[in-house]
């Protein structure tokens, strides 16, 4: 008798086949009608034919007391979540670097709800990720906790489950990347929100409670798509990267992980000479700093996070000569580059991520400082902006600062580690200008009596302009470098080479 005819192997194959996409045509068709993919299709796209070892594939929902066992095998395969270790981006990196812990919720199984064995599988995978220091990619589509697991008779509320604490505490030096499509409520949303990089499709609705819980709490009746729709969660910073569909989300998950898996051969660079004219001659005019980012770093290597939240600061990942870095940049087209409370939170979270995962940071600064005024204080400026200083002060990775133009006050300090003395290398373009506060404000405050003493408006403006010009000359990059408040003034066209060289120097921190 050949091995393929043995009863044990036939039973194994039949068991696996029951829970496969081919064995569940009805479930697959329901996904198709929504325009969505199955969990195993997302898994296959993520792996791109790379190896995968699945854990807990034979689990079913803990409902044997109320449902037929064969029905559970067919309708609740893997208890609604695929877990295992696979190779992601194996075409770029060796097997050791491409190994990734994978947790993929299956909405076709009990709406992706979290059951007893489901939690046990995730806990097991997080334990393996922690032991082996693996990155994690988690797909989170699902409806939260499941009340129907009747086989569990030794617990009351089940609130002693480890999943949420283990996920939040997981610190392997690698990122926790979360991906969502469709409905993501309650426990699923808690996992999504605790991810390091949060990717979602436009079809996503993400909320800390679903319709049933909201209505049960007497808070009204809502459709699922009215709760945390993607456009809302994109604007408020819950979503880091918004994409069109699951294919785009999976491609983005692979791309984000690519930054953390190691160096690659030096990338192609654009001609750097146009950087000499990237800033307008009139210092009052704004310019598109993303054009500078795209030119400075390896071609097509920049990926931005939280683009429409905290818009005066840009955060993202890029490669510089093949090495991955975090990018922090002022956007002077938004609030003149002033760092408001949302931008402070955004930059703080980003610096924490770079620090945990070992990515050096390149900070491109053009800011008049922190946003001030009554509205700013109403938004919690004091504690939110101070939080940026706390994150900056905690950095153990190198930070490289390039002052493109304005670098004023506490806001400029916070964007480079809390002090101009912190950066591994601090250089300015010749357009750089420095001061304890914005020049215009400094003139109005420091020379108030002199200005008020001039009654003629035209003469007062002439005096203001003269004092402003004098302060500008004193605070120019050349003078800041001469006083050793920065390390160098550089030709903008040399910025890329200077940063690459600085990256490979030993940090003094």
Segment 351-387, tens digit of pLDDT:
999 999 999 999 999 999 998 888 888 888 898 989 9
**Which pair of structure tokens corresponds to residue 384?**
């939110």
- The pLDDT confidence band at residue 2, using thresholds 50, 70 and 90, is low
Report helix, strand or coil for 158.
coil
CB of 140 closer than 8 Å to CB of 190: no
Segment 77-91, tens digit of pLDDT: 888 899 999 999 999
Q: Tokens 């610190």 — which residue?
A: 171
**Which pair of structure tokens corresponds to residue 241?**
């990267």
Q: What is the rounded CA–CA span in Å between residue 417 and residue 392?
A: 4
Helices then strands, each counted (H, E), the chain? 21, 17
CA-based R_g, the chain, Å: 27
- Cβ–Cβ contacts within 10 Å for residue 368, how many? 27
Whether residue 294 is predicted with pLDDT greater than 60 in this model: the reply is yes
Whether residue 509 is predicted with pLDDT greater than 50 in this model: the reply is no
- Please return the burial class of 138, using the count of CB atoms within 10 Å of its CB with bins 0-12, 13-18 and 19+: buried
**How far is the CA of 417 from the CAs of 11, 97, 173, 203, 289, in angstroms?**
60, 30, 20, 38, 20
Q: What is the rounded CA–CA span in Å between residue 473 and residue 467?
A: 10
Segment 195-236, tens digit of pLDDT: 999 999 999 999 998 888 887 888 898 998 999 999 999 999
Q: How many residues does the chain have?
A: 509
**Can you give the pLDDT at residue 505?**
61
Lowest-confidence segment of 99-103, 116-120, 349-353 by average pLDDT: 116-120
**Can you give the pLDDT at residue 3?**
54
User: For 464-493, what is the mean pLDDT?
Assistant: 88
Q: What is the rounded CA–CA span in Å between residue 450 and residue 314?
A: 39
Q: What is the rounded CA–CA span in Å between residue 262 and residue 96?
A: 11
Lowest-confidence segment of 107-121, 155-169, 406-420 by average pLDDT: 155-169
Mean pLDDT, the chain, as a whole number?
Answer: 91
**Can you give the pLDDT at residue 290?**
98
Whether residue 327 is predicted with pLDDT greater than 90 in this model: the reply is yes
In terms of DSSP H, where are the helices of 379-417? 381-393, 409-414
Q: What is the rounded CA–CA span in Å between residue 190 and residue 201?
A: 17
**Can you give the pLDDT at residue 110?**
86
User: For 47-67, what is the mean pLDDT?
Assistant: 88
Whether residue 261 is predicted with pLDDT greater than 50 in this model: the reply is yes
Strand 323-330 and strand 313-320: the pairing is: antiparallel
Beta bridge partners of 434: 407
Considering the chain, what percentage of its residues have pLDDT values greater than 90? 69
- The pLDDT confidence band at residue 177, using thresholds 50, 70 and 90, is very high
Q: Which of 334, 287, 483, 321 is nearest to 400 (CA)?
A: 321
In terms of DSSP H, where are the helices of 210-340? 211-216, 230-235, 246-258, 289-296
Whether residue 507 is predicted with pLDDT greater than 50 in this model: the reply is no
Q: What is the rounded CA–CA span in Å between residue 326 and residue 297?
A: 11
Segment 395-413, tens digit of pLDDT: 999 999 999 999 999 999 9
Q: What is the rounded CA–CA span in Å between residue 235 and residue 306?
A: 8
- The pLDDT confidence band at residue 508, using thresholds 50, 70 and 90, is very low
């Amino acid at each position: 008798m050949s091995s393929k005819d043995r009863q044990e192997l036939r039973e194994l194959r039949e068991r696996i086949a029951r829970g496969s996409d081919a064995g569940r045509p009805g479930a697959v068709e329901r996904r198709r009608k929504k325009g969505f993919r199955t969990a195993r299709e997302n898994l296959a796209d993520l792996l791109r034919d790379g190896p995968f070892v699945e854990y807990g594939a034979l689990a079913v929902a803990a409902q044997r007391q109320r449902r037929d066992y064969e029905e559970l095998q067919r309708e609740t395969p893997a208890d609604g979540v695929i877990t295992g270790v696979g190779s992601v981006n194996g075409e770029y990196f060796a097997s050791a670097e491409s190994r990734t812990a994978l947790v993929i919720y299956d909405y076709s199984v009990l709406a992706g709800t979290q059951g007893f064995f489901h939690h046990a599988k995730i806990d097991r995978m997080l334990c393996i990720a922690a032991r082996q220091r693996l990155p994690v990619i988690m797909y989170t589509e699902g409806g939260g906790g499941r009340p129907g697991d009747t086989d569990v008779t030794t617990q009351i509320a089940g609130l002693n489950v480890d999943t949420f604490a283990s996920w939040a505490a997981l610190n392997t030096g690698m990122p926790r990347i979360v991906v969502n499509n469709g409905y993501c409520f309650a426990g699923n949303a808690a996992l999504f929100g605790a991810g390091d990089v949060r990717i979602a499709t436009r079809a996503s609705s993400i909320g800390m409670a679903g319709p049933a819980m909201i209505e049960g709490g007497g808070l009204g009746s809502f459709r699922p798509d009215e709760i945390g729709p993607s456009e809302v969660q994109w604007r408020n910073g819950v979503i880091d990267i918004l994409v069109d569909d699951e294919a785009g989300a999976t491609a983005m998950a692979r791309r984000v992980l690519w930054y953390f898996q190691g160096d690659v051969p030096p990338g192609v660079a654009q001609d750097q000479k146009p950087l000499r004219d990237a800033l307008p001659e009139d210092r009052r005019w704004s310019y598109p700093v993303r054009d500078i980012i795209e030119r400075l770093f390896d071609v097509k290597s920049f990926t931005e996070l939280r683009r429409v939240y905290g818009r005066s600061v840009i955060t993202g990942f890029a490669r510089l000569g093949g090495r991955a870095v975090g990018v922090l940049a002022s956007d002077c087209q938004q609030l003149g580059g002033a760092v408001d409370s949302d931008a402070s939170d955004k930059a703080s979270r980003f610096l924490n991520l770079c620090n945990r995962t070992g990515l050096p940071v390149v900070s491109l600064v053009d800011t008049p400082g922190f946003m001030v005024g009554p509205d700013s204080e109403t938004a919690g400026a004091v504690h939110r902006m101070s939080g940026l200083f706390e994150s900056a002060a905690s950095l153990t990775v190198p930070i490289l600062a390039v002052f493109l133009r304005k670098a004023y006050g506490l806001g400029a300090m916070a964007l480079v580690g809390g002090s101009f003395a912190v950066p591994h290398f601090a250089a300015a373009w010749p357009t750089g200008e420095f001061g304890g506060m914005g020049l215009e404000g400094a003139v109005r405050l420091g020379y108030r009596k002199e200005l008020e003493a001039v009654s003629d408006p035209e003469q007062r403006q002439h005096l203001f302009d003269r004092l402003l010009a004098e302060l500008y000359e004193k605070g120019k990059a050349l003078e800041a470098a001469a006083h050793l408040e920065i390390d160098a003034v550089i030709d903008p066209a040399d910025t890329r080479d200077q940063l690459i060289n600085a990256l490979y120097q030993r940090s003094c921190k």
